[in-house]
Structure 1
């Protein structure tokens, strides 16, 4: 439990910060940082890649849901980076695969999970048949599974690396060695995946 002195110090710091923000004025406080692209710029980038306004908005809504649930930083119209903990690529609602916006035109699918062989990635897909949103991991650690039903996966870590899948009680339910895949690997019972 926090003691009274710490609480008072936190309150004083918050008041000082608040005073500094109001002194800056509304014109400065409302402007986004120049180094962090705004959600609006991602929507504009999606529209420039010939998405309709409805598609761009639906895509941004899907990205926002993941950001709220998982954290991370949006770095493209459909891409979330988790700073060393992999990436998530979001498919436009109604499409089977996330698009590659880095190419500019966004006409091809982004998915380097299956090629080249032993490329270091474990890829989880939200739908069966390697379709839907794509969560890509490569570091040796334990990851929370963001998908709940359906799904598929490709274990394309370096040769012989292991991916272990655990249920909500932390019990091991499946082990796979690279290279392996499952086009209908349901995520319902998988709560975490441990790589290496």
Structure 2
């Protein structure tokens, strides 16, 4: 049973890397991002899994991949994917700085996390403009350290209001299932 899982995981990882190359992403960028992962000690399966997460998020947004596990959207939001079982996204590039959601929510930011208590994959938002969530289901968390009084809206799939709140606030155990889109201000 365990071998079957590993085999399936390895095939999925290779398919994700191939999809990146076939999707029109420059081969040099895909190779460079994969090399960053290898230098950071990731296996080929982990590199492929992260690339697959990035590809899924790119398919939902008008963004650009800026690292193996990082996407910057047109509105300036930054998505960082964490590996399964890891509490936080890894910094996989020697030149990359820490993200504004690493270790808490930096002043001026709205940070949303796929897991409870600031864990899992994360999206950092600093400027106004909506973003799409990457199909998060179940419980995660968010922290809003924007200017006091700023109103953030969480929307359903068809842009009905799922929730709204005012900065500065947070929720360490929030159900993402009904939320598809976020407008931080």
Q: Scaled by the length of structure 2, what TM-score is found? A: 0.73
Q: 1:57 to 1:169 in 2, by over 3 A?
A: closer
Alignment-derived partner of residue 17 in structure 2: none
- Asked if the contact 1:99/1:110 (under 8 Å) is kept, the reply is no
Alignment-derived partner of residue 130 in structure 2: 142
- Asked if the contact 1:155/1:181 (under 8 Å) is kept, the reply is yes
Alignment-derived partner of residue 7 in structure 2: none
Q: 2:92 aligns with which of 91, 98, 101?
A: 101
Max Rg structure: 1
Alignment-derived partner of residue 82 in structure 1: 73
Deviation at 1:166, TM superposition (A): 2.5
SS of residue in 2 equivalent to 1:38? helix
Alignment-derived partner of residue 181 in structure 2: 192
- Asked if the contact 1:97/1:110 (under 8 Å) is kept, the reply is no
SS of residue in 2 equivalent to 1:139? coil
Stretches of structure 1 that go unaligned for 5 or more consecutive residues are: 1-31
Alignment-derived partner of residue 32 in structure 2: 41
Q: 1:176 aligns with which of 165, 171, 174?
A: 165
Deviation at 1:91, TM superposition (A): 0.7
2: distance between equivalents of 1:63 and 1:80? 7
SS of residue in 2 equivalent to 1:189? coil
SS of residue in 1 equivalent to 2:175? coil
Alignment-derived partner of residue 27 in structure 1: none
Deviation at 1:139, TM superposition (A): 1.5
1: distance between equivalents of 2:77 and 2:48? 24
- Asked if the contact 1:80/1:88 (under 8 Å) is kept, the reply is yes
Q: Scaled by the length of structure 1, what TM-score is found? A: 0.69
RMSD: 2.6
